[in-house]
Amino acid sequence: MPNPSRAALIDRLPKAELHLHIEGSLEPELLFALAERNGVAIPFASVEEVRAAYSFFNLQDFLDIYYQGMSVLLHEQDFYDLTWAYLLRADADNVRHVEIFFDPQGHTERGLAFETVLSGIERALKDGEVQLGISYRLIMCFLRHLSEEEAFATLDQAMPYLDRIHGVGLDSSEVGHPPAKFSRVFARARDLGLHVTAHAGEEGPPEYVHQALDLLEVERIDHGNRALEDAALVSRIADEGLTLTVCPLSNLRLCVIKDIADSPVRRMLDLGLKATINSDDPAYFGGYINANFHAVAEALDLTEAEIVKLAENSFTGSFLPLTDQARHLNEIAEAVHG
**Partner interacting with residue 224 (select from ligand ADE, Zn ion, none; CB below 5-8 Å by kind):** none
Q: H-helix or E-strand containing 303? A: none
**Partner interacting with residue 287 (select from Zn ion, ligand ADE, none; CB below 5-8 Å by kind):** none
Residue ranges in 128-227 assigned as alpha helix (H):
148-158, 183-191, 206-214
Q: How far is the CB of 237 from ligand ADE (least distance, A)?
A: 19
How many residues interact with Zn ion (rule CB under 5 A)? 1
Closer to ligand ADE by CB, 17 or 281: give it. Answer: 281
317 vs 280: CA distance, rounded Å: 16
Closer to ligand ADE by CB, 277 or 308: give it. Answer: 277
Which string of b and e fits 201-219 if b means at least 16 CB within 10 Å?
bbbbbbbbbbbbbebbebb
**202 catalytically annotated:** yes
Torsion-angle region of 183 (φ positive above 0: left; ψ -120 to 50: alpha; else: beta)? alpha
Closer to ligand ADE by CB, 6 or 107: give it. Answer: 107
**Partner interacting with residue 202 (select from Zn ion, ligand ADE, none; CB below 5-8 Å by kind):** ligand ADE
Under the binding rule (CB under 5 A), the answer on residue 17 touching Zn ion is: no
Under the binding rule (CB under 5 A), the answer on residue 203 touching Zn ion is: no
Q: How far is CA 179 from the centre of its chain?
A: 18
Return the residues of window 265-284 that contact Zn ion according to CB under 5 A: 280
Which one from 174, 202, 306, 312 is the annotated catalytic residue? 202
Length of the chain: 338
Q: What is the DSSP letter of 283?
A: H
Summarize as ranges the residues that interact with ligand ADE (CB under 6 A): 21, 24, 59, 66, 171-172, 199, 202, 250, 280-281
Chain residue at closest Cβ approach to Zn ion: 280
Closer to ligand ADE by CB, 59 or 215: give it. Answer: 59
208 vs 82: CA distance, rounded Å: 32
Collapsed DSSP state (helix, strand, coil) of residue 16:
strand
**Partner interacting with residue 172 (select from Zn ion, ligand ADE, none; CB below 5-8 Å by kind):** ligand ADE
Q: How far is the CB of 101 from Zn ion (least distance, A)?
A: 7
Decide: residue 305, CB within 10 A, 0-12 exposed, 13-18 middle, 19+ buried.
exposed
Q: Which residues are catalytic?
A: 202
Chain residues binding Zn ion by CB under 5 A are 280
